[in-house]
Amino acid sequence: RVQLVESGGGSVQAGGSLNLSCVASKLGDSYSSYYMAWFRQAPGKERERIAAIAGTGSTSTEDFARGRFAISRDNSKAMVYLQMSSLKPEDTAMYYCAADLRWTAMRQGNLDWDYWGQGTQVAVSS
């Protein structure tokens, strides 16, 4: 079973930046075959997708994240990253990475992903 472990969360003041990382292991297929994504869920709110990236590097970013969040990956290290800048208190949430072999996972806003990490907490103070 694919395992995903996120890191890089923490506390930051509004306007600051954080870089999240996620490493994948126990893959049944080549890491580059997996579509990867970042999601977040704030207390009392539904989980929402931030961005997704194909093994080729093609990305899909939700409207609210464009300009402040950037997803990238390193297939040689089985890693996916999320660079976050100009953070706001409303960005406070648990951030999760996810993986899926299906191309349909890349559809805008899609929440149906096969594999999930445990999450890393991001707290933005004003």
Q: Residue 29 has what pLDDT?
A: 85
Task: Give strand pairing partners of 60.
Answer: 52
Q: Residue 98 has what pLDDT?
A: 98
Burial of 114 (0-12, 13-18, 19+ CB in 10 A): middle
Report d(CA 108, CA 70) in Å as an integer. Answer: 15
Report d(CA 68, CA 50) in Å as an integer. Answer: 11
Phi-psi category of residue 78: left, alpha or beta, with phi > 0 → left and psi -120 to 50 → alpha: left
Q: Residue 108 has what pLDDT?
A: 83
- Give the C-alpha distances (Å, rounded to integers) separating 17 from 60, 103, 106, 111: 21, 30, 26, 25
Structure token digits, residue 83: 């660079």
Return per-residue pLDDT of the chain as tens, 126 residues.
899 999 999 999 999 999 999 999 998 889 999 999 999 999 999 999 999 999 999 999 999 999 999 999 999 999 999 999 999 999 999 999 999 999 999 988 889 999 999 999 999 999
Q: Residue 54 has what pLDDT?
A: 96
Task: Report the candidate in 56, 55, 51 with the shortest Cα–Cα distance to residue 71.
Answer: 51
